[in-house]
Structure 1
Amino acid sequence: MKESPESSTGATVDAAKFRNKVHGCLLGGAIGDALGYTVEFDSLEGIRSRYGALGLTSFDQLDVPARISDDTQMTLYTVDGLVEVLQWANDGVGADETACLWLAYLRWLKTQGLQVPDNAPFQPDRWIDSQEVLHHRRAPGNACLSGLLTGEMGTRFRPVNPDSNTCGTVMRSAPFGLLPYVAGDVIYRFSTDGAALTHGHPSALHSAAVFSTLIHDLLPEGASLEAAATQAVSRAAAGNVPELSARLEAALALAAEQDVRPERMTEVLGEGWVAEEALAIGLYAALSSLDAGTPLAQFRKAMAVAVNHDGDSDSTASVAGNILGALYGVEALPQEWVEAIDARETVAKMAEALIAVTVG
């Protein structure tokens, strides 16, 4: 498991650069989450009235440490579920990856102050469960809660929330893309199965999977975000989810325009409360920043775009942060922003846990 990690294209991933990208992806997502969570339920007009004409663009405008939300919480529990699978695999024992993820999400449910149903299996505690910074209820998604509260393991063929297409699948799915030695089609399946634990709508399942494989495509050295985005559109079309394909195509077209106002972005891409919109806005924010110069400048610009709009600002900014962090690594992240988030140490330790079971 720890030797010669390869991307879906077969290219070998340098271990040191892979470590950098794992930290960049997870910390980048947490930064976006913490910045956006402050204004998650505010209108664009409300954001501007609080923070000025440019809106919220920096942690300098906030009290720190800034709080991460359920987006980062569930992302880290996704990491933990995958780490458990790989720990078993590295010991020569097979484990059901979706069952491990389900147990991880049930343990997350307990951090939200809720009782796991009696019909659910026992969940042995793991290191992540002792992290007090994750034991806060910060606007968790209703579908994530209700799906887990059934005590039933949702699947694509027996969904617990068959009509839910909210973004709770997308915002937690970047870690699937951080499995460097797994083929892209397997990443897609893993991610879809993981999303089905709480959601059943095709756009929720396939948006998560397209996002995960997009992250995966950014792992090799020299990866191009434009190429990965084009491939994401192709995967969305192959998944036969028209609303997902349409939003991603619109995101790429919008990114080619100049000086797009936030009002136009939401008019074209939506507000991000549902899965395909959150992915489209996060991807658009990342793509529209590529002309900003350095990775640091790109990250700052992308966060401003992803946060300042009517809609689900923490989810859209976490997606954008995951993308640029995976593309560039920690060099894209302003160090003072990393230090501003309350869960930075836990995020870094979970990144190391994933690295330990992949490249060592």
Structure 2
Amino acid sequence: MSRSTVRQLGAVRGCLLGLMLGDAVGATAGAVPPSGTLPATSAGQLACFTVDGIIRASVRGTLRGICHPPSVVRHAYTRWAVMQGIPGVQRWQDEDWPDGWLAQVPVLAVRRGSAPATVAALQRLGMGAPDNPAGTSTGAHGLTRSLPAGLVESWSAGVGDLAAQIAATTHATEAVHAAALGATIIAHLLRGAGIDAAVTHAQQQCASHLPGAAALPLAPAHSDPLGAAALPLASALAAARSAPAQRDELARLAPDARALSALAGAIYVVSSFPEPARIREALLFAASAGDGGHVATAAGAFLGAAYGVDALPVDWLSRLELVWVADTLARDLVSEFVDHPAGSGYGTAPDPQWIIRYPGW
């Protein structure tokens, strides 16, 4: 494995484990118990299935030469819903389904809070696209579960587009824009950019294909409909410079459970705690946002991408319910794009079990 791949692996693992850690810490509202398991929420579960879907999409594209990744990721969410016993979600086939290794992880079948916009979209069957999203929700799940799209930037151009397409299968335009911005920020953090540069570049890139994404509203939905009270993402950075780690500033930037609130709050948190030694403190602060833990989930992903897996608190990771699942997914994601274990369809596959773990659909 090359040095660059080793660095990528550390950052990819850090991002996904940081997301899961933020999800679990956020669920405690900052009151992390001194012992015991730190369970995931539905947001963490769905993020796992996003990674699974991205790997499967790559397998399908490599073996068949054609693939629509958002459809494959949506299929992953369908497997999650069926495992959860959610009614009204159509099975893709009667036998040997859900397939793949995630279907064998019992904790992913345990209900850990609701994901109403995702479930409603899966029950409706429609796909959706960035210019015609399938849902009406602006909720934070559209952001948090799409963030792993930013992890494949080294091997696949257009991670903002991919995240937008994934979010559009279930959520409305505002959440679609937030997903594109969030994944693009992840991509820049993985390259070594600071949070200020990552946000600036993400706004520039996303504005070119998502009109209005660079100046989306970050005020509550009941604010001035003309947008007079709206704040661009740069306001989160400015607030961190002038008044870092202030709860009233966090409450102003992340007043509710919308995707854009979670994104703004996470940017403020990461910029307020610029040292890797303060990740624990940053996640506890993010969890105090009062938005259901979404700020902490996004902040954990950003912090892990920026500083790598070794910067995450080991004592918390050792108690994290999905730590093995998330770490396996992160390693497999890198392996898929670097080594292509399923092969190319010609000759013997390097890993004959890979297509069983990640069927290409």
Q: Same fold (TM over 0.5)?
A: yes
Shift of 1:92: 5.0
Correspondence for 1:323: 302
| 1:337 lines up with 2:338 in the alignment | no
Letter in 1 for 2:123: L
Correspondence for 2:284: 304
How has the CA–CA distance of structure 1 residues 92 and 110 changed in structure 2, closer, same or farther, with 3 Å as cutoff?
A: closer
Any conservation in 2 of the 1:166–1:274 contact (CA below 8 Å)?
yes
The CA distance in 1 between the partners of 2:156 and 2:334, in whole Å, is: 18
**What do residues 319-355 of structure 1 show as CA deviations (whole Å, max 9, x unaligned)?**
1110111111112101111101111111111112211
The CA distance in 2 between the partners of 1:87 and 1:179, in whole Å, is: 14
Correspondence for 2:222: none
The CA distance in 2 between the partners of 1:114 and 1:63, in whole Å, is: 31
1:38-117 aligned at under 5 Å gives the runs: 38-39=28-29, 56=31, 59=32, 61-91=33-63, 93-117=65-89
Letter in 1 for 2:309: V
Letter in 1 for 2:50: T
Unaligned runs of 5+ in 2: 219-229, 340-361
The CA distance in 2 between the partners of 1:224 and 1:183, in whole Å, is: 22
How has the CA–CA distance of structure 1 residues 260 and 106 changed in structure 2, closer, same or farther, with 3 Å as cutoff?
A: same
Correspondence for 1:206: 177
**What do residues 77-99 of structure 1 show as CA deviations (whole Å, max 9, x unaligned)?**
00011000111233353221111
How has the CA–CA distance of structure 1 residues 208 and 194 changed in structure 2, closer, same or farther, with 3 Å as cutoff?
A: same
SS of 1:156 mapped into structure 2: coil
Letter in 1 for 2:103: D
List 4+ stretches of structure 1 deviating above 4 A. Answer: 235-238
The CA distance in 2 between the partners of 1:232 and 1:312, in whole Å, is: 25
| 1:172 lines up with 2:138 in the alignment | no
1:180-259 aligned at under 5 Å gives the runs: 180-182=153-155, 184=157, 186-200=158-172, 202-220=173-191, 222-235=192-205, 238=208, 239-241=211-213, 242-243=216-217, 246-259=231-244
The CA distance in 1 between the partners of 2:131 and 2:235, in whole Å, is: 30
SS of 2:199 mapped into structure 1: helix
The CA distance in 2 between the partners of 1:281 and 1:70, in whole Å, is: 20
**Total equivalences in the alignment:** 321
Letter in 2 for 1:303: L
| 1:140 lines up with 2:114 in the alignment | yes
Any conservation in 1 of the 2:12–2:330 contact (CA below 8 Å)?
yes
The CA distance in 2 between the partners of 1:351 and 1:136, in whole Å, is: 22
Unaligned runs of 5+ in 1: 5-12, 40-54
Letter in 1 for 2:120: S
Correspondence for 1:21: 11
**What do residues 134-188 of structure 1 show as CA deviations (whole Å, max 9, x unaligned)?**
1111112211111111122223344332x3111111111121111133465x211
Moved more, 20-29 or 144-153: 144-153
Correspondence for 1:264: 249
The CA distance in 2 between the partners of 1:342 and 1:328, in whole Å, is: 22
Correspondence for 2:130: 156
The CA distance in 2 between the partners of 1:117 and 1:158, in whole Å, is: 22
How has the CA–CA distance of structure 1 residues 272 and 236 changed in structure 2, closer, same or farther, with 3 Å as cutoff?
A: farther
Shift of 1:305: 1.9
Any conservation in 2 of the 1:90–1:357 contact (CA below 8 Å)?
no
The CA distance in 1 between the partners of 2:256 and 2:34, in whole Å, is: 23
Correspondence for 1:47: none
The CA distance in 1 between the partners of 2:238 and 2:132, in whole Å, is: 36
Shift of 1:124: 4.8
Q: Report sequence identity in percent.
A: 30
Correspondence for 1:347: 326
Correspondence for 1:10: none
SS of 1:271 mapped into structure 2: coil
**What do residues 8-37 of structure 1 show as CA deviations (whole Å, max 9, x unaligned)?**
xxxxx8100111111100101111111111
The CA distance in 1 between the partners of 2:150 and 2:38, in whole Å, is: 26
Shift of 1:203: 1.2
The CA distance in 2 between the partners of 1:117 and 1:326, in whole Å, is: 34
The CA distance in 1 between the partners of 2:271 and 2:65, in whole Å, is: 41
Any conservation in 1 of the 2:254–2:289 contact (CA below 8 Å)?
no
